[in-house]
Amino acid sequence: MFLRILFLLTLLPLVELVLLVWLSAHTDWRLTVLFVLGTGALGAWLIRWQGWRAWRNIRDELARGELPAESIQDGLFILVAGLLLITPGVLTDVAGVVLLVPPFRRALGKWLRRRWRTTFAVRSFSTGGGWEPGGREPDGTVIDVASTPATRPD
């Protein structure tokens, strides 16, 4: 874990700086500055455009009574992509642009869900009620629970 943090905080900015210096040496420094500012503006615009679209999808899925897990994940990927584009650098810009491509986001989301399923375990237990995990009674009927807000006595 320490090596990953060391990489993110020291080596990645160093590589980004070297790439920006190389880019300005092989082109014009004004073009390099325009590249950094342009990708930052593009990132801000794309966060806004695709972010609103993801927000609408989340709202629509909630209105239909569906769990918007993939839309929330899509929105998080868009946010990370925009932050990568706003961050000055060549590698972060490439990663941000790739993360804004919807088929890549879907593939990355599937890979992450598959990886997290093997990493995280969800367990439930009962305190003697005889229920099986998952909210079902032994005969297979679903247990439906409703809650009401508690009122405070004044």
Around 109, how many Cα atoms within 13 Å sit in the side-chain half-sphere? 18
- Overall average pLDDT of the 43-58 stretch: 84
Residue 101 has pLDDT above 60, yes or no: yes
More confident of the two residues 102 and 127: 102
Residue with tokens 């969800």: 122
Residue with tokens 């009962």: 126
Give the percent of the chain with pLDDT over 70: 77
Q: Using the CB atoms, write b or e for 96-106: b if 16+ within 10 Å.
A: bbebbeeeebe
Residue 22 has pLDDT above 60, yes or no: yes
Facing residues of 136 across strands? 132, 142
CA distance 102 to 73: 12
Report pLDDT for 46. Answer: 80
Average pLDDT score, the chain: 79
Residue 145: name the closest of 137, 153, 60, 61 by CA. 137
Alpha-helical runs (H) found in the chain: 2-6, 12-26, 29-63, 69-86, 90-99, 102-119
- Overall average pLDDT of the 119-136 stretch: 54
User: Three-state SS for 132?
Assistant: strand
Q: Contact 60/72 with Cβ under 8 angstroms?
A: no
Give the percent of the chain with pLDDT over 90: 7
